[in-house]
Amino acid sequence: MTEEFSTAEGVLQLTPIQHASLMIKAGGKVLYLDPAMGSYEGLPAADYIVITDIHQDHMAPAVIAKLRKPGTVIVASKAVAQTVTDAAAIANGETKTVGPFKIEAVAAYNLTRGPAPGQLFHDKGRGNGYIITFGGKRFYFSGDTEGIAEMKVLKHIDVAFVCMNLPYTMPPEEAAEAVKAFHPAIVYPYHYRGSDLKVFEKALAGTGIEVRLRDWYSK
């Protein structure tokens, strides 16, 4: 199942793999976001790998080793770069350009939810969401986050991929409220294991935002 988007530089193809893992082909290059979950048999080697956070559903050194080739560029949060030591570290608010892709790091963190009182599943500043721009089209990938202020003020997002799974991130209702605030043209739920996507879809009815539901877990 590959999604295609027209841009000023040609077609961008995006293939969901599983959970938060996906592949982008554009400009003759291959970029993987969070290659960790699902099967990578038969998929091409990576020109670029972009990683959001340190948890095993986002960072998998064995999968990275399988996908990389000489010259593969890895972009990741500073916490990830402590394990994936040749990654180019990027912090919230910073931007890097790799080949035809512009990569902007966006905050991704929990406001209230955590494993114990006084603890959060995702601390502010540790992980990144990303806006990846190709051919003038801006694609936002939330990473693991709640409906934070930094998400709600995003501008000019063409396509958004937004997480929703309790207890780690947020429920569909909260995700929908955040999406209403920054109003992408198209939104895909991802990283949604166990969530009721119809709740998300219903909450965005009538907003003019196109909700696209896809199965990220059948493989």
Whether domain 3-211 has CATH 3.60.15.10: yes
What CA–CA distances, in Å, run from 212 to 49, 133, 137, 202?
25, 20, 17, 12
pTM: 0.97
Q: Quick one: pLDDT at residue 219?
A: 63
Residues in the chain, pLDDT under 70 = 219
Q: Quick one: pLDDT at residue 89?
A: 98
Helices (H), the chain: 61-67, 78-81, 149-152, 172-182, 197-203
pLDDT digits (tens, 9 = 90+) for 42-65: 999 999 999 999 999 999 999 999
3-state SS assignment for residue 83: coil
Sketch the domain layout of the chain as residue ranges. 3-211
